[in-house]
Structure 1
Amino acid sequence: MSGKVVLHYLNGRGKMESIRWLLAVAEVEFEEMYVTTREQYLKLISDGDLMFQQLPLVEIDGMKLIQTKAILSYIADKYNLHGNNPKDRVMINMYSEGLMDLMELIMMLPFTADTKPKLEEIEKKAISRYLPVFEKVLSGQIYLVGGKLSCADVQLLECTLMLEEKFPGVLADFRNVKSFQGRMTEIPAVKKFLQPGSKRKQQPDTNYKKAVMEVFNIQLPLP
């Protein structure tokens, strides 16, 4: 197996995007092998590469890793983005899983027939349930846990950018979170990943939706 990190996923955000973000911040170069047909997906299964028949799949350090949380945890541990002790790590994991819950709601929007009520639900939850947590913890400190950059910080940045794509003024009442976002975007690796031409994926479009439905054999009526 090559020493390079290789990502296997569709050519879009989905659950792989947080992994792309974390690798980019850790300044790890990676290649992508796009799964564009159901046949490619089934071959990964038949070859024994997908333990639970699920993507994303990441080849790293001679291993083929699946399950997003496990992959993120491994990368965070390897590149010192997972706290200094068990107490830090459990806090990082709690923040990270909360952010993943919110981002997954946004990920499902392209597959929702009536997006208006779902958008209203996401905005309400973001403002009432999620953002207040981070607004409070970022009062008087630069990073979420232990005074150092962690995978949770990277995911919070990713999540706030996703929210602003849908709700441009969503951070208006969350000054600490907005300041945090500004600080994060000045990190050279982050700034590079946000530039046009990077491996950061754009918002899902109709082509991405069709590809997901074909690869995973999802039967949903297209709008």
Structure 2
Amino acid sequence: MAEKVVLHYLNGRGRMESIRWLLAVAEVEFDEVFLETREQYEKLLSDGALMFQQVPMVEIDGMKLIQTKAILNYIAEKYNLDGKDIKDRAMVNMYSEGVMDLMEMIMLLIISPDPKPKLDNIESKAKKRYLPVFEKALSGPIYLVGGKLSRADVQLLECTLMLEEKFPGILADFPNVKSFQGRMTRIPAISEFLQPGSKRKQQPDEKYKKAIMEVFQIKLP
């Protein structure tokens, strides 16, 4: 029997949340070790568990994986969520990279001393650069690539939900994306992950911000 997957990160979204989403969709059970103190982080460093001295870190199949994209790629390939061939995988990667660029901007809001200008920039880029791409891609197909569920779809759903938390109604001009969102949330594994009590994390709050500052020794203005 394979050992359970273990995630090492803070008790919040950040770069680990997309990994949680993908594992949930693949119906893979996982445990979490939450970093709450600098000492816990330094213990991982001293143990040599973090190749580039950073998290997220995922213990899976006897490995200690770091680098978010590498982790997502491994899970997607292992659970057939990366497209049917090399061309599909290229498309999946392009869509995923775009989504991650947008989500990265949202993630950084928690450590911004003045989030208002950044929020305006995120909303503008979402409407003008990112959402039009997905609106066009979903003008006919059920999924983004090759007619089958991929990690790009999972990450797009995660991203649209994050956007709606910040900008209610942002999908009003993107009906294909909104319909896609509705279809995705009806997938049983996703529906379960969206229920209260799941391992999905809530929006970052002051407690999460404090943990970031403590664990990574970040000095905020």
Question: What residue is the counterpart of 2:66 in the other structure?
Answer: 66
Q: Write the mapping of 1:138-217 to structure 2, written as runs, cut at 5 A.
A: 138-217=138-217
| 1:172 maps to amino acid | A
Question: What residue is the counterpart of 1:11 in the other structure?
Answer: 11
Deviations 1:105-129 (A, max 9, x none): 0000011111111100000000000
Whole-angstrom CA distance in 1 between matches of 2:112 and 2:219: 12
Whole-angstrom CA distance in 2 between matches of 1:16 and 1:209: 15
Deviations 1:55-77 (A, max 9, x none): 00000001000000000000000
How far the C-alpha of 1:92 sits from its partner, in A, is 0.2
| 2:15 maps to amino acid | K
Whole-angstrom CA distance in 1 between matches of 2:146 and 2:217: 44
| 1:203 maps to amino acid | Q
| 2:169 maps to amino acid | G
Deviations 1:174-219 (A, max 9, x none): 0000000000000000000000000000000001001001100101
Question: What residue is the counterpart of 1:104 in the other structure?
Answer: 104
Deviations 1:141-171 (A, max 9, x none): 1000000000000000000000000000100
The answer to whether structure 1 residue 29 and structure 2 residue 33 are counterparts is: no
| 1:155 maps to amino acid | Q
Tell me how many residue pairs correspond in the alignment: 220
Secondary structure of the structure 2 residue equivalent to 1:113: coil
Whole-angstrom CA distance in 1 between matches of 2:35 and 2:69: 21
Secondary structure of the structure 1 residue equivalent to 2:160: helix
Question: What residue is the counterpart of 1:134 in the other structure?
Answer: 134
Secondary structure of the structure 2 residue equivalent to 1:143: coil
**TM-score (norm: length of structure 2):** 0.99
Whole-angstrom CA distance in 1 between matches of 2:119 and 2:13: 18
Aligned identity (percent) is: 78
Question: What residue is the counterpart of 2:220 in the other structure?
Answer: 220
Whole-angstrom CA distance in 2 between matches of 1:94 and 1:46: 36
Whole-angstrom CA distance in 2 between matches of 1:83 and 1:115: 37
How far the C-alpha of 1:14 sits from its partner, in A, is 0.2
Whole-angstrom CA distance in 2 between matches of 1:76 and 1:213: 31
Secondary structure of the structure 2 residue equivalent to 1:6: strand
Deviation larger for 172-181 or 110-119: 110-119
**TM-score (norm: length of structure 1):** 0.98
| 1:183 maps to amino acid | R
Whole-angstrom CA distance in 2 between matches of 1:159 and 1:67: 19
The answer to whether structure 1 residue 122 and structure 2 residue 122 are counterparts is: yes
